[in-house]
Chain A
Amino acid sequence: MLSILSSEWFKLRKSGIIFIITAGPLVGLIIGLLPSFPNEIEINQWYMLVLGINLTYALLFLPLITGVLASVICRYEHQAGGWKQLLSLPVTRWRVFTAKYMVLIFLVLIMQLLYLSSIYGVGMIKGFTDPFPINIVWKSILGGWIATLPLVALQLGLSIFFKSFAAPFAVNVVFTLPTILVVNSEHFGPYYPWAQPFSMMNIGGGTDNVFFVPWDQLLIVVGGSFIIFFFGSLQYFYRKPI
């Protein structure tokens, strides 16, 4: 397992992945620095900032960019018979899939941490004096990461299925765009997997739980969609004729 992981990592090093995972935090930084967040209400300055950037970052960027990462990680295999070569090595498909998945979620985690640092950076540049709400921000960062776990599993499956970059991206867009409407709905918002990154990063949610969404929602929606997407994709990968 370790050897597949390190090989995946090795293949990624020259694929421009750095550019992709720094793009999000950069967007956060730029949007955060735009002088458009009025701070009229008496509230911790950090809250306003995080609320503002999260709106774009978690709603659209995060679910879309994870799909791009999934395509990048399958790029070598789709070129000139790479799947043949990889799977004729003494490895099981289960391990190949899991290794790719683990590298992906690790990359997303790094991206989340970079995003955290860009929030902090914006605050520093703007000279915030309020205390940094570390607990709340942590919840948001980790919560967002957990919420993408099922999406990443599906996106990995789609990227294995489609040869081109554009096709899985198109599918991804079709599911991500409705989120903009769905998050406004009390009925559908909690149950739509693509809305979960936003819900779990949205620091306005209930603060009693460990995360910003209730445990049952987390377990049922995120956990449930993870099981469906992960094993569904894996199942497909097992049957894929190479």
Chain B
Amino acid sequence: MIKNLLCADFLKIKRKGFWFLTFLGPFGVVALQMVNYGVRKDYLLQQSNDEWGYYILNVSTFTPLALVLGVVILTSFMTSVENETNAWKQLIAFPVTKISVYLSKLTVLALLLFISSFLLMLFTLGFGMILELQGQIPYGKLLKHSFYPYFAVTPVLALQLWIAIVSKNQGVPIAVGVLGVILTYSAYLLPDWMIWKWPSLINEWDEPLINVLLGVGVGSLLYIIGMFDFVRRDVK
């Protein structure tokens, strides 16, 4: 059942700009560094002996922001596809469980974001090579900075999906999303328990893996809560 729903959901997101946004996010993040290095490459190269490491660090200053924004926009897009003519009633009147409808939506979003993270890795690597940075390419670091934030953002994804699906007014998830973006931007000021801090991979113990594990754990929890709330509600 879930496979069928996924196929249908992928069909529904055609021509809606989902794929473009999936590409635009990681491209934008690297493009900002193109500008940054384009304007003051010499200055930036002087900042550290580890040119690749410093470059990846620069790229990853924008990764959490772009990810959270991507989550907010894609979840809202996803629900607007069903909201536009209230296709929820048609969808739920099919022989499918509400649990699998919810899971399918989440899976599509998670896949799109995964592709984004993968593209981010490619673009980062590509532009780094174009810059002809000195030293060995730190593949481990590259992988970490491309995929750790992806897992750490899971709670935000689960939360936004929940709010977007149950809100009649799409202004609500977007407004909550803007708040989230601001919090993500101010991550270095936030206490460790706030989910919006996690994609930045910063924590008290200086161990990014904690954010990843916490993200997946709390994300799953929020996902389950949201799903049960969705199941419990009447369809409009």
Which residues of chain A have C-beta atoms less than 8 A from B190's C-beta?
A: 34
CB distance from A148 to the nearest CB of B (A): 14
- Structural contact, A68 and B175, CB atoms closer than 8 A: yes
- The reply to whether B32 and A178 contact each other, CB–CB distance below 8 Å, is yes
Interface check B230, CB cutoff 8 A: no
> Chain B contact residues: over half helix, strand or loop, or mixed?
helix
Interface string of A159-178 (1 = CB under 8 A from B): 00001111101100110011
Count, A-B residue pairs, CB within 8 A = 96
Are B77 and A68 in contact (CB-based, < 8 A)? no
Distance of B149 from chain A, by nearest CB (Å): 16
Taking CB atoms and an 8 Å cut-off, the chain B residues in 70-108 that contact chain A are 72-74, 76-77, 80, 84
Q: How far is the CB of A67 from chain B (nearest CB, A)?
A: 9
Given A68-B171, A163-B84, is A56 in contact with B178 using a C-beta cutoff of 8 Å?
no
* CB <8 Å contact, A174 and B171: no
Give the CA-CA distance A241 to B9 in the complex, in Å.
30
In angstroms, Cα B73 to Cα A164, docked, is 11
A147 within 8 A of B: no
Given contacts A60-B185, A61-B182, A177-B65, contact A23 B73 (CB under 8 A): no
B175 close to A185 (CB less than 8 A):
no
Bound together, the chains give a CA A34 to CA B178 distance in angstroms of 19
Residue of A nearest to B191 (CB): A34
Known contacts A16-B169, A177-B28, A164 near B181 by CB under 8 Å: no
User: Separation in Å of the A200 CB from the closest CB of chain B?
Assistant: 19
B172 with A23: CB separation less than 8 A: no
In the complex, what residues of A have CB within 8 A of residue B69's CB? Answer: 173, 177
Q: Determine the main DSSP class of A at the interface with B.
A: helix
Query: Considering residues A34, A57, A170, A178, which has the most beta carbons from chain B within 10 angstroms of its beta carbon?
Result: A170
How many chain B residues touch the partner (CB < 8 A)? 37
Least CB distance from B104 to A in Å reads 19
Cβ of B118 within 8 Å of any chain A Cβ, yes or no, is no
Contact of B181 among A60, A163, A170 (CB under 8 A): A60
Does any Cβ of A come within 8 Å of B189's Cβ? Answer: yes
Please report the C-alpha to C-alpha distance between residue A170 and residue B80 in the assembled complex, in whole angstroms: 14
- Cβ contact within 8 Å between A34 and B181: no
Residue A221 lies at the interface, judged by CB distance under 8 Å to chain B: no
Check A137 for interface membership: any CB of B closer than 8 A. no
Pairwise interchain contact A19-B80, C-beta atoms closer than 8 A: no
- Which B-chain residue is minimally distant from A170 (CB atoms)? B73
Interface residue? A218 (CB, 8 A): no
Question: Is A99 part of the contact surface with B, judged by Cβ < 8 Å?
Answer: no
Tell me if B48 counts as interface (CB < 8 A to partner A): no
| Cross-chain contact A169 with B181 (CB below 8 angstroms) | no
In the bound complex, do residue B170 and residue A165 qualify as a contact, i.e. CB atoms below 8 Å apart? yes
A181 touches B178 (CB 8 A): no
Q: Are B182 and A27 in contact (CB under 8 A)?
A: yes
The 8 residue pairs across chains A and B that have the minimum distance between CB atoms: A166-B76, A165-B170, A164-B80, A166-B77, A72-B171, A36-B189, A20-B175, A64-B178
7 A-B contacts, Cβ less than 8 Å apart?
A23-B175, A75-B170, A166-B77, A174-B24, A177-B28, A178-B35, A180-B62
